Structure 1
């Protein structure tokens, strides 16, 4: 089929990119040096976070894997990339279902050298894929792509971005949203590219992924070991867990490690928040201090979910600060100070005597960094549920992505980020129980999504892939940062299996996926050593495949 597309093409006469027509004929573009921009149904420009939606939902930033400062299409590109759509079956395992859908992908051949049979494959995850992972040559894995003359692909995950197996996200339409179908998508893509893109040549594919895509990388190496030769699984929470109070436990360690006074201030602030929330007069104070988006319901109608939703959104701001603390993800963390140390400066500010106000000051500081000064704090559970229960795709895809991520957590990942850890969660208090997450699953997706269902699903996939302690794949490196709240679910030192070429490395003081970002002079010795280990193992995998 011939498809007319618009493209950003480099015009040598004027030395700039310009919009030009390009025909795609049987998948081959007529024209060179072009950055395709599909004019068919796709993702609109990114939109600001709606005021009634929290900055973090189930540990996932509202805009997903992309920084809030970045555009989803051509963020800071220093090389061109190209796009395509690949036809996937709705169901890889039931031939009686003949429905298909289009999976969006990006690729970069600028690093490829004649005769090279190496392909680097960045697996898409819980958001629309962002161009920076395919076109910013200072990213660690793209530096290695240059070294090996690799062609680079990035493929979007089903049910995110433009990759929509069904036109809406009703619970019925999400039943093909399983690890088996997701991994089969990636395997089918690899096989098709070997056949069609590389003219039947059996290429050596190396998989890359960070966070949830890191887990997919690990699972691909277990489920389809012949499709690729190796994988780098960064900050992957492969040790699936339902009531994951370990997130709060690790946060407590990190804030208290910064300073005992910081931990004490958080504890005093959160205790007072809980006390104030139990009376109507106290809740009015909280409305003012935190600039809540709506008033709390009156005493006759307020429910535990209303309070837990408010608590979770205050707690969520501290999650975001910790999860990316000090890494080279973007200016927020790299140069503007978003991280635990600066947060603790606000929390130990002796000029502010009220610990609750100190907590609010941290949130106000983060709002300013995100370009959202005076943003209100969401506190209406019903509005939140109504928004994420809508099965229609929104224009930017951000709300739909949050719904997809929540479905994944409810149906096979777990990751209920509670404060059920007792003393180990002491500075936060017992504010966010597991029932708060179970209720969200039921309210968004239906009564069958009870806690027993999630536990059974998580146990199923722990058995299937081996989790962290008994991982069943081969030829994988697992870097994890000690500062990352997901650290406890990673395949860390002590779980490696060198017989199967499964290696673990801990980055002291490293945050979530810190090894994946561009290197810089102030990188710690531990981070530099982790990248060297990855590079050495990568060299071994490639040369011995």
Structure 2
């Protein structure tokens, strides 16, 4: 794998290469940026936008720690009455409007619970920039970007909001998907006096410290494609050799530019590899049962649709041509793209801060085995560390997340002191293998579906949703209803 390869988002930065992953659910790849026409437009949301004065540093008392920045949050009180529950989304690594648009489940259930809805943007993302968009590139300023600071932000904002609403007895339930799901689970563990429970969807909290096999992410994607079509899996697996063969030719880059219909001539052979990998990885993540437009506009079960494209090619066709045609479903499902801007990158959702988090605390090592459909590589921590030192002048802390939040022997540990957390996962989501997949106790439950994709349960309900997804949501609603009824019962007894 090339040292120029950028790879996946709600969670991580691995280097064998220079790969960036984040579990939010979006690779920091040209793949995400290529689709800005489809994903950048913002529908009008049923929320009021507000800004909360937040301290820069919650964990020291130096003069600079009292610097104030304005944290964006969205609020909808249409169904709420004083004393009613407050549903809070713990924001991910990006623009909070984007996540609010793709988390319709909370809005769907708000009338039933007469709940106040609040979506809080994560510091250093979207509009919540403590030092402005141009001044947060140095380690001196980025040092205030961490999950611990973000959780403290949420706690302070929620407490202030309840006080201002004169509704301090309102129970708070936190929701989150991907990195936001990790934050929701950790918020319940760190601030149990502020939230009564958490729904953590597609939250790979075990993707640290070698708790799960390093190959699990790419193994899951490969299995998704193999389940759709063994031929499709094999064609994609063979396509990398063809790509390398063309790349070594004298006029390899012009030939690749023509084959990949690039808007401008390619400067690196690895750009096409990144582009292809991005399409397959993201499509596996958002392999939703119905048409959606989270990462890009796609049909229902897009992995199967990709493989149908591959399987329609006649025997003896170029594997690389098949792979390109399949990837084009992700990048050009609408058919409007006349060429592909493979090397022209933009950051339309404000995800740039993730590279810092991945280089400091969110160290989620990965590797790729010979059995996967991707080019194999071994995790190289030393190369990763050197890259972070070169980029930011800081060393990663690979054991910090498990020290701060736990993860080792999680069943034994959480059974003793944790409660009221739903870990939901769909096994077609590549991040699921780093999630909690078994019940830990009667109140820390795992809801696992065979076909679910990346936080599919948090999406708005549609008339075409399959029965397994409807049932997963019914279970979540029932559990949340019990949390809230138990809370009000205890409140009366007090």
So what's the TM-score if we normalise by structure 1? 0.74
Q: Are positions 1:215 and 2:182 aligned together?
A: yes
CA-to-aligned-CA distance 1:372-393 (integer Å, 9 cap, x gap): 51333535xxx86xx8xxxxxx
1:411-450: CA deviations, max 9, x gaps?
222345x5x332332x21226865786676455423x34x
* CA spacing shift, 1:144–1:109, aligned 2, 3 Å: same
Q: How does 1:91-130 map to 2 (within 5 A)?
A: 91-96=57-62, 97-113=65-81, 115-130=82-97
Matched, 1:409 2:358: yes
Shift of 1:195: 1.3
Larger strand fraction of residues = 1
User: Structure 1 residue 309: deviation in Å?
Assistant: 4.9
Among 441, 455, 480, the alignment partner of 1:538 is: 480
**Correspondence for 2:166 among 199, 222, 238:** 199
Matched, 1:428 2:374: yes
Residue among 277, 286, 289 paired with 1:315:
277
Instruction: Give secondary structure in 2 for the equivalent of 1:152.
Output: strand
* Structure 1 Cα separation of the partners of residues 351 and 206 of structure 2: 22
More relative contact order in 1 or in 2 (CA 8 Å, sep 6+)?
A: 2
Aligned 8 A contact 2:285 2:428 in 1: yes
* 3-state SS, counterpart of residue 89 of structure 2: strand
Mapped partners of 2:236, 2:305: distance in 1: 14
Matched, 1:376 2:340: yes
Aligned to 2:143, which of 172, 175, 180?
A: 175
Q: Distance in 2 between matches of 1:403 and 1:276?
A: 32
Query: Which SS does the other structure have where 1:402 is aligned?
Result: coil
**Structure 2: distance between partners of 1:327 and 1:487:** 17
Structure 1 match to 2:15? none
User: Structure 1 residues 177, 250: closer, same or farther in 2, change over 3 A?
Assistant: same
**Contact (CA 8 Å) 1:468, 1:490: kept in 2 or not?**
no
Q: Structure 2 vs 1, CA of residues 438 and 355 (structure 1 numbering), >3 Å: closer, same or farther?
A: farther
Q: Is the Cα contact below 8 Å between 2:7 and 2:21 reproduced in 1?
A: no
Specify which of 524, 528, 531 is matched with residue 466 of structure 2.
Answer: 524
Q: Which moved more, 1:104-113 or 1:244-253?
A: 244-253
Partner-residue secondary structure (3-state), 2:353: helix
Q: Cα deviation per residue 1:459-509 (whole Å; 9 max; x = unaligned)?
A: 21113212285164421101101100101111112xx2215x110011121
Unaligned runs of 5+ in 2: 1-5, 10-19, 488-494
Q: Within the alignment, does 1:343 sit opposite 2:306 as a pair?
A: yes
Q: 1:51-450 counterparts in 2 under 5 A?
A: 58=21, 60=26, 69=38, 75=43, 77=45, 80-96=46-62, 97-113=65-81, 115-130=82-97, 133=100, 139-167=104-132, 168-170=135-137, 171-196=139-164, 198-199=165-166, 201-241=168-208, 244-292=214-262, 295=265, 306-328=268-290, 330=292, 336-337=299-300, 339-351=302-314, 353-369=317-333, 373-376=337-340, 378-379=342-343, 398=348, 401-415=350-364, 420-425=367-372, 427-430=373-376, 434=380, 441-446=388-393, 448-449=394-395
Aligned-residue RMSD, C-alpha: 3.2
Q: Would you say the 8 A contact 1:326–1:334 is kept in 2?
A: no
Q: Aligned with 1:207: secondary structure?
A: strand
Q: CA deviation at 1:253?
A: 0.6
Q: Distance in 1 between matches of 2:478 and 2:235?
A: 44
Work out which of the two has the higher radius of gyration on C-alpha atoms and give 1 or 2. Answer: 1
Secondary structure of the equivalent of 2:321? helix
Match of 2:425 in 1: 480
Gaps of 5+ in 1: 1-52, 298-305, 388-396
TM-score by length of 2: 0.82
